[in-house]
Amino acid sequence: MAGKDLPVSPLALPLPEMPPVAGVRLGSGRAEIRYKAREDVTMMVFPAGTSVAGVFTKNKCPGAPIDWCRAALKGGKARALVVTAGNSNVFTGKAGRQTCSDTAKAMAELAGCKPNEVFLASTGVIGEKLPTEKLVAALPPLFGKLDDNGWAGAASAIMTTDTFPKGATRTAQIGDTTVTVSGIAKGSGMIAPDMATMLCFLATDAKVPAAALQAILAKGSQKSFNCVTVDSDTSTSDTVLLFATGSAKHKRVPAEGGPVLKDFTRAVHEVLMDLALMVARDGEGAQKLIRIDVTGAVSNKSAHRIAMCIANSPLVKTAIAGEDANWGRIVMAVGKAGEPADRDLLSVGIGGTWMAREGGVVPGYDETPVIAHMKGREVEIAVDLALGRGKATAWTCDLTHGYIDINGAYRS
Amino acid sequence: MAGKDLPVSPLALPLPEMPPVAGVRLGSGRAEIRYKAREDVTMMVFPAGTSVAGVFTKNKCPGAPIDWCRAALKGGKARALVVTAGNSNVFTGKAGRQTCSDTAKAMAELAGCKPNEVFLASTGVIGEKLPTEKLVAALPPLFGKLDDNGWAGAASAIMTTDTFPKGATRTAQIGDTTVTVSGIAKGSGMIAPDMATMLCFLATDAKVPAAALQAILAKGSQKSFNCVTVDSDTSTSDTVLLFATGSAKHKRVPAEGGPVLKDFTRAVHEVLMDLALMVARDGEGAQKLIRIDVTGAVSNKSAHRIAMCIANSPLVKTAIAGEDANWGRIVMAVGKAGEPADRDLLSVGIGGTWMAREGGVVPGYDETPVIAHMKGREVEIAVDLALGRGKATAWTCDLTHGYIDINGAYRS
């Protein structure tokens, strides 16, 4: 089940150079919670004054760390983050809550802050008690070796069934000052909207009030992670956190944000989108990345639902795995979404070739260029409903034997 | 893609002895629409006075035969049914509509009735024009050889990726008279609620007014086919039709039905349930039949949504394929449904063993009996929410390499 046992996704991208983010000290180490031969605990420490924003799973059975973060987020301040891989601390009852408070207390003592300024996230098996003492014992040695350059190690230490580490970075201007926005993510299965990744952590040296930060993160997550699905299954642990250390010296940002954050917002959204697409690229068993563009819907929301319905259709995803230009299944998925659609106006295309137009196959339709497109690593599906101006894009991967292999024996 | 090329499902049941239904003459033959080496067209002919009820897909891009049947159903009378396998006549535009009217007209001439007393259904590839002339030419020879005993042949001739023919029969008392209710179904993939089969045809010799017949069929479909899912994909062609020839001599049934139809209703619902479970047993790639009982929900509707959400979860279905008692994935699926659920009250069991109770693993939980249960062909999942009295049951099959094999190369 550890990523190292699986072949690397053919869609993998190399981890970019991850520069330091002023104010962020981080590192990773071993707690041997489940994995014995790799790093499984990650720590970030932030200076006083760091603001934080968060977006969490909408699953109604969230893990204990989700409850912890939701409560801590009310303060809007963060001084540390502790992430574990291998055990999600979900459905662990009172013991799970105790693990969170014990971990936060131990981390707070090291960082010299309050427990509710410590953020927690865990990913892995559900329903097994997390060995708190091992985790707490691993914190002091890890704290002792933190530095500015731990991003690559952290990107690896948070992985579970991921086959490659995921990171992205951008710079942005706030007034005349250049700030950095960097992020890492993990996620490969149990990936669906609300949220589409299990864990994603961003940090910036910008000084942005928590309310403005939250608005930027929420909108960016909606446009990125919530448009990506691997298997329609919504994790109990999905977490995106954005920490702003305020170490950069730029003009003051008002509480409500505003135009001064325009470029910063762009950078955050680009990092989120990069990471979300890496999650789709590392979808369990993925051989192809699929982009679905829906246009002509009655609204953007309707277009989003249709795009996600296509992205979640096992029949569409297996057809693409088989490089079969079976556009009938796309028609089926459009109809299944339950959104306004008129069969006789519908058009469907793959790879820039319209196969069906206005309710029927295009006269003289030649499948050759479509088949050639489908043999590639990236497949583009276009659907036009010809009803209105609503549009949306979703991303997913194909459904292959690899998904069955990985998930039929996850715990074995 | 023809069922004969696939190994028979290990969950297959033998076709029961299908006795004649008074008034129904039926048979099957070859039109070579797509399959060249098997029967692919099925015909039933009914006497004057036959009433009909129908339930159809809620997919917004339905096939031309669905539109045809919805219009014909308004008359409440039926004299014939023509079913083709191999081409679904979906997304075929004006040509598809013409195929329907040409077929109905040809059939009506043979049967001596009006075209709108002819019902049509097609299953198979989407988006390819159905060769009407081949179909129409096949009708007269088939009409010439109809008899009372064609049920088994018909059950085979309507199959596509099915690996075994599906039929069920019951008798019922209306007053002092015994009537017969028989049905056949096909369906294996693109199976999801609203409706959960592609095609299902029932006939009875009872004399039941169309309105009462429709009420019985609608309720029975809700409790059977709409509780079964294979892959969450809703077909564009799902059809259930129930024909009542009125050949039996029993006391008059009032238009609104009522107590006199109690036993008849039971028989219809039992036939529907038998057939729905056969569809799950023949789910593409199925190795195990899965039953999911949800209790303690806030309402029956909420329980149904949760049960179907578990039944549609790829992670739950792959875990069962791998005989992995990964109850954490069941917790995830409960939470993903979005229905009221309290993690700390939730209980999850498999095969009669409660694994998790009130938000945590059962103390001293021994996985042995659960693993033994999961090695069998039928797996039972129980979820109790401890919130109310709502309950529901859903059925599905596991998600295996077979599903990928079948659907990655359906058209090849």
A99 is in an annotated binding site: no
User: Nearest Cβ partner of B61 from A318, A319, A332?
Assistant: A332
| Over residues A7-32, mean pLDDT | 94
Please state, rounded to an integer, the average pLDDT across all residues of chain B. 91
| Contact between A62 and B335 using a beta-carbon 8 Å cutoff | yes
- Per-residue pLDDT tens over the stretch A172-227: 999 999 999 999 999 877 666 455 457 899 999 999 999 999 999 999 998 888 88
Cβ count within 10 A of residue B41:
26
Q: pLDDT grade, residue B126 (50/70/90)?
A: confident
So what's the ipTM on this one? 0.78
All structural domains of chain A with their residue ranges: 3-281, 289-407
| CA A20/CA A393 separation, integer angstroms | 32
∠B361-B365-B370 over CA atoms, to 5°?
A: 105
pLDDT of residue A412: 38
Rounded distance between C-alpha atoms, residue B412 and residue B410, angstroms = 6
Chain A: residue nearest B328 by CA?
A126
pLDDT of B5 reads 65
| Annotated binding residue B28 | no
> Over 50: is that where the pLDDT of A293 sits?
yes
Q: What is the largest CA-CA distance in chain B?
A: 72
Report pLDDT for A201: 92
- Which pLDDT score, from 0 to 100, does residue A374 have? 95
Burial of B265 (0-12, 13-18, 19+ CB in 10 A): buried
Residue A331 and residue B90: Cβ atoms within 8 Å?
Answer: yes
Name which of B1, B302, B326 to mutate to probe chain A: the one with the most chain A Cβ atoms within 10 A of its Cβ.
B326
pLDDT at A3 over 50: no
pLDDT, tens only, B314-371: 989 999 999 998 888 899 899 989 899 998 999 999 999 999 998 888 988 999 999 9
Distance separating alpha carbons of residues A231 and B233, to the nearest angstrom: 13
The answer to whether B195 and B229 are in contact (CB under 8 A) is no
Interchain contact, B232 vs A314, CB within 8 Å: yes
Highest mean pLDDT among A279-288, B136-145, B316-325: B136-145
Q: How many CB pairs (< 8 A) connect A and B?
A: 220
From the number of C-beta atoms within 10 Å of its C-beta (0-12, 13-18, 19+), residue B71 rates as: exposed
CATH of domain B3-281: 3.60.70.12
Cβ–Cβ gap A61/B192 under 8 Å: no
Q: Do A333 and B90 touch (CB under 8 A)?
A: no
Order across the sheet with A353-357: list the strands: A360-361, A353-357, A347-350, A378-384, A289-297, A390-397
Which residues in chain B are closer than 8 Å to A129, comparing Cβ atoms? 361
> Which is more confidently placed, A158 or A358?
A158
Give the nearest chain A residue to B231 (CA atoms): A314
pLDDT of residue B43: 97
Mean pLDDT, residues B177-185: 94
Placement of tokens 């005993």 in the chain:
B149
Average pLDDT over residues A21-25: 96
User: Tell me, what's the pLDDT at A227?
Assistant: 87
Give yes or no: A92 in active site. no
Does residue A410 come out as left (phi exceeding 0), alpha (psi in the -120 to 50 range) or beta? alpha
Nearest to A360 among B61, B92, B235 (CB): B92
So what's the pLDDT on residue B92? 86
B160 annotated binding-site participant: yes
Quick one: pLDDT at residue A45?
A: 97
Pairwise pLDDT comparison (A362 vs A6), residue with the higher score: A362
Give the residue ranges of DSSP H helices in A112-247.
132-144, 151-157, 210-223
Residues B239 and B78: their CA atoms lie apart, in Å, by 15
* Cβ-based neighbour number of residue B149 at 10 Å: 13
Instruction: Report the DSSP beta bridge partners of residue A185.
Output: A166, A200
Is pLDDT of A59 > 90?
Answer: no
Q: HSE of A172 in the Cβ direction (CA atoms, 13 Å)?
A: 24
**pLDDT interval class at B402 (50, 70, 90):** confident
Q: What is the mean pLDDT of chain A?
A: 91
Mean pLDDT of B142-148: 97
CB distance B341–A93 less than 8 Å? no
Are B335 and A409 an interchain contact pair (Cβ–Cβ within 8 Å)? no
- Per-residue pLDDT, A93: 86
* Residues A178, A250: Cα–Cα separation, whole Å: 8
Instruction: Supply B164's token pair.
Output: 């075994």
pLDDT value for A76: 92
Nearest by CB: A359 against B91, B344, B358: B91
The answer on pLDDT for B197 being more than 60 is no
Which chain A residues are closer than 8 Å to B327 by Cβ? 126-127
Which chain A residues are within 8 Å of B332, Cβ to Cβ?
Answer: 59, 61, 126, 190, 233-236
In this predicted structure, what is the pLDDT of residue B194?
A: 53
Distance CA A72, CA A241 (A): 12
B289-407: what fold?
Ubiquitin-like (UB roll) (3.10.20)
Of B233, B312, B315, the CB nearest to A315: B233
What the block records as the tokens of B62 is: 């339905």
Q: pLDDT by residue (tens digit) across B59-81?
A: 888 889 999 999 999 999 999 99
Among B129, B236, B332, select the one facing A235 at the smallest CB separation: B332
- What residues of B are labeled active site? 197
Q: Do A314 and B407 touch (CB under 8 A)?
A: yes
In chain A, what residues touch B61 (CB-CB under 8 Å)?
331-332, 334-335, 341, 343, 346
